[in-house]
Chain A
């Protein structure tokens, strides 16, 4: 009996579309599980912290807050292979649109000038994460081993990478599997 490959995913500054695309593998998920994939901490299992020695860590979304920075570093410590999944994790994506502006400007627009905002209070408290000055792709914070670009990546691309990794091969995205949009 083969040993199970533990897969863990987290969701940073993104829209969860990549996780939806992950679930969109449908019956191929069963294939992967039959071939030896097992989930540890993921939004699907509602667990937050993967165990040490997890085989594959998948990160969706860019790094925009100090909490996300810590989470991403935690993933690197606990996982042997890190995959950046989706355009936000790979390139920075839509959240980098705010890099044009200062964080104070962004807060002011969202919590003070917004047409639907009547209280005009900035959110405050120790529990709330701090915005980083710039939104960064994951590879600016930690070392990333494999990249699956796409907004979202197709289920076929995710399957290609995971199935190759479970077999112990090096995945490579080519042709229609490689897409920036």
Chain B
């Protein structure tokens, strides 16, 4: 039991807690800058300064101890916080009116909170180059306050270890890969640095000037761009997605990759207002009579509800997989992925696909000294609890040759987002097994068609496609129908951990 005083009021706790956390619990606000609730505290900015028995301490990184006598808001402390902010403000380019995050900036809000109305010191002393080489992120060291949130999130959470600090004192800068251009670095564009940056140092090029956080509506959902199904927050304004952030409170705990954060937004804007068919609601109106010569083919880029609707309408419904899915019954959960000592990886790139799983493996390799084995290594030895992670469309003979008799868990990565749901609903009834002489018409349903089907469909006389990109396949089919994007319907899907995730409708579909 630790007994201590805060502003002359006595408290006691049993657990280990920092002063800042305790103050937050009892409702005393202390301004913070480098502190972030999901990162380890470093106490670098000193804005959260408090006084304990005559000594100044930073509350975010100091644990409560027996006998502390803490003062939080004396005139002296308020004045010191104002001076600390002045040092930070005047060190670099913090002219709010030419910054794209103004009015949506944690640092600016601190200035308002402390009533800072001018700087005592000359500004703009060091000028750094602006790095615009990254495809998605604008990186400007001139606006940096060196809180190191980006460095911490890049290593602790995302496991990429791209960002670090360089130089000393007022010349300190954030660099990628020890000083190469951001766009040429090993950055995987997960964008977590943008999400945690309290200033405009890291900015999304695709969302700047489209709306501040408080002007947008925030919708919690799940990413539909790969079978992991990370928790996301969609920031919507009007009929546009301003940005997508990862959801710290979801099962993926803030992890996200470039597909979820940037590619879905770019895709949505590309197909916006060009598609209008909701399979669940409109399919009955388009297809009135289904004869016995027709066959429907569905792939994993559709939601469960859509697949059920198609199955209801077509007596002959088949599934489309990249390869025959014999094994898609992953029994481990997302949280359990952190518990392994050896990770064996076959056929996929940690940085390019299933980025969230890649992040977990990379940070475990560094922080827990785990072993990561790529299957192109010819000889290897495993130790401890082992997991084997591979795509289900990787050559099965090759995999069984490697893991024959080895005691390890499996995580199979399907190609399409809802392949697990497709297997549950339609099963192993795949098109390759169909007697093609029996049917004359084929209806293919695929939101993002990414499996080569030209050989299969050539055998049919009449061919129809329901997809989002109607121009891409128009020459292969008799008719192509535009179906709405994943943001315009309510739906559910199974991710690769067998979790059923619900996606809320973000936009009403456009009447074209």
Contacts and interface: CB of A to CB of B under 8 A. Distances in A.
Report, as a range, how many residues of chain B touch the other chain.
Answer: 10 to 19
A94 B98 contact: yes
13 contacts: A90-B118, A91-B123, A92-B95, A94-B95, A94-B97, A97-B98, A139-B120, A147-B117, A147-B118, A151-B97, A173-B115, A180-B108, A181-B103
A144 interface: yes
A99 interface: yes
A11 B115 CA distance: 26
B97 A96 contact: no
Contacts of A92: 95, 123-124
A56 to B, nearest CB: 17
A145 to B, nearest CB: 11
A180 B96 contact: yes
Which 5 A-B pairs give the minimum distances between C-beta atoms?
A180-B96, A151-B97, A147-B118, A147-B117, A181-B97
A17 to B, nearest CB: 11
Interface residues of A, number: 27
A100 B122 CA distance: 14
A37 to B, nearest CB: 22
Nearest to A91: B95
Contacts of B103: 181
B118 A180 contact: no
Given A180-B102, A181-B102, A99 B124 contact: yes
Contacts of B111: 180
A60 interface: no
Contacts of B97: 87, 93-94, 151, 180-181
Given A87-B96, A99-B127, A172-B115, 10 more contacts: A84-B118, A90-B118, A91-B95, A92-B95, A96-B95, A96-B123, A137-B123, A149-B117, A178-B117, A180-B111
A173 B98 CA distance: 22
A99 to B, nearest CB: 5
Interface in B108-141: 108, 111-112, 115, 117-120, 122-124, 127
Contacts of B120: 139
B126 to A, nearest CB: 11
B122 A140 contact: yes
Contacts of A149: 117-118
A127 to B, nearest CB: 30
A97 B118 CA distance: 18
A93 B95 CA distance: 7
A174 interface: yes
Nearest to B118: A147
Contacts of A99: 124, 127
A95 B363 CA distance: 45
Contact of A181 (B96, B122, B124): B96
Contacts of B123: 91-92, 96, 137
A83 to B, nearest CB: 11
Interface in A121-162: 136-137, 139-140, 144, 147-149, 151
Given A96-B124, A180-B96, A91 B115 contact: no
Contacts of A172: 115
A174 B115 contact: yes
Given A140-B122, A180-B108, A181-B103, A90 B117 contact: yes
A101 to B, nearest CB: 10
Given A93-B95, A93-B97, A181-B97, A173 B117 contact: yes
